[in-house]
Amino acid sequence: MTAELPVICAALGDPTRWEILTRLGQGPQSASALAKVLPVSRQAIGKHLDVLRDVGLIESEHRGREVVHLAIGARLGALARELDRIGRSWDTRLLRIKELAESPEPDAPDATD
């Protein structure tokens, strides 16, 4: 599960993708509508939408003769929770290490993550 963390982060790592997400966050739009606003072609946007959909950051539905896409805030929230958890574990680790450094007992150092 945590293995897909780099994947979703990579999806968020592209400026154009962020731009698309931001727009979609303000309301559902079609690829063509986005293409009219953003400085890239419709096809490029289509690919970005594929990536975003793959990691669950957006969903798409047919509406009339076009396909509108909407941003899924919940998925971003899930990612946020995961990252926060990991960040806390790092600090905890450091605290434990400091404690160990001061304690005279050299206990099992290996912690399989």
Residues that bind a second copy (CB under 8 A): 5-7, 9-15, 17-18, 22-28, 37, 70-77, 79-84, 86-91, 93-94, 97, 111, 113
Give kind and range of the element (H or E) at residue 75. helix 73-102
Distance, CA of 99 to CA of 96 (rounded, Å):
5
Q: How many CB atoms lie within 10 A of CB 48?
A: 23
Using the rule CB under 7 A, give the single segment among 47-55, 79-87, 91-99, 105-113 that binds DNA: 47-55
Structure tokens at 79: 């990612």
4 makes contact, choosing from a second copy, DNA, none, with CB < 5 to 8 Å by partner type, with: none
22 makes contact, choosing from DNA, a second copy, none, with CB < 5 to 8 Å by partner type, with: a second copy
